[in-house]
Amino acid sequence: MASASSIVFSGIAPHPPIMVPEVGQQSIAAVRASIDAMAEFTERLIASGAGTVVVISPHAPLDPHAFVAYQGPQLFGDFADFRAPETTVQAPLDEELLKAIEEQAETAGYAVIRLRSKHLDHGTAVPLYFLQRHGWTGRVVALGYSFLADEDHLRFGACIKRAADSFARPVAFVASGDLSHRLKPEAPAGYNAKAHLFDEAVVAALRANSPDRIVRLDQELRRTAGECGYRSMLIAIGATADL
């Protein structure tokens, strides 16, 4: 009988800075449902017993051929780019787990490049803000994905799982992503009347507990949506699902 995975929680977290009250101010009413959802998200994560959170963000500095990781020993982020410089997040790096991820990735033929900057991008900082404000404390590994193929992102997720399992201690995985960026006429990425179909397909797959449907998702629909976070989800699936 196979032993249980050390990854005890996996979830997808939104990352619009407007969700942060110090940033959004009066505008947070428009994203209240997402703010409330992050409270429940954190409650479930805390209940899992995870002492380390691995976050994968679409907004980390990307390398075409390698995955990236923020360096420690202390990770730090703020919202100065969003007119709230005094609002910050910080957490200790789980150096032990990051080294294990690097080793597993190297064995599988992938590189993990450590970023010179220790300043977290908002795709990492926003989920971490809500985790900490709602009571989670612990260590973090903050990663960014690459321009490699989808299959490589699934395999990198499996590297993270093997690294976590080598320590036999509970780890949570947070895939940061906002899905479609083309849902409204005023969207900066432009409007596409079919973009909502991407979001609906992802939600339907999650509700059906069918991650394989996300892996097989129509790539043209993905491009239509101007999505943010698909590769985050692929890594999460690779880390938690047997496909």
Tens digits of residue pLDDT in 136-188: 999 999 999 999 999 999 999 999 999 999 998 999 999 999 899 999 998 88
Q: How many CB atoms lie within 10 A of CB 32?
A: 11
**Residue 222, Ramachandran bin (φ over 0: left; ψ between -120 and 50: alpha; else beta):** alpha
Q: What is the per-residue DSSP string for 77-125?
A: EEEGGGTEEEEEEEEEB-HHHHHHHHHHHHHTT--EEEES--B--HHHH
What are the tens digits of pLDDT across the range 9-60? 999 999 999 999 999 999 999 999 999 999 999 999 999 999 999 999 999 9
Residue 242 binned pLDDT confidence (cut-offs 50, 70, 90): low
pLDDT > 90 fraction of the chain, expressed in percent and rounded? 91
Judge if pTM exceeds 0.75. yes
Element (H, E) at 165: helix 150-165
Residue 114 binned pLDDT confidence (cut-offs 50, 70, 90): very high
Look up residue 53 and give its two tokens. Answer: 């959170």
Instruction: Reply yes or no on whether the pLDDT at 68 is more than 70.
Output: yes
State the residue for tokens 């992802």.
Answer: 202
CA dihedral 151, 152, 155, 160 (to 10 degrees): -140
Measure the CA–CA gap between 117 and 104, rounded to whole angstroms. Answer: 23
Average pLDDT, the chain: 95
132 close to 91: Cβ distance less than 8 angstroms: yes
- CB neighbours of 22 closer than 8 A, spacing ≥ 6? 79, 84, 86, 87
State the residue for tokens 């249980």.
Answer: 4
Q: Report the pLDDT value the prediction gives residue 1, as an integer from 0 to 100.
A: 33
Instruction: Reply yes or no on whether the pLDDT at 70 is more than 60.
Output: yes
Measure the CA–CA gap between 27 and 35, rounded to whole angstroms. Answer: 12
Mean pLDDT of the 207-214 span = 94
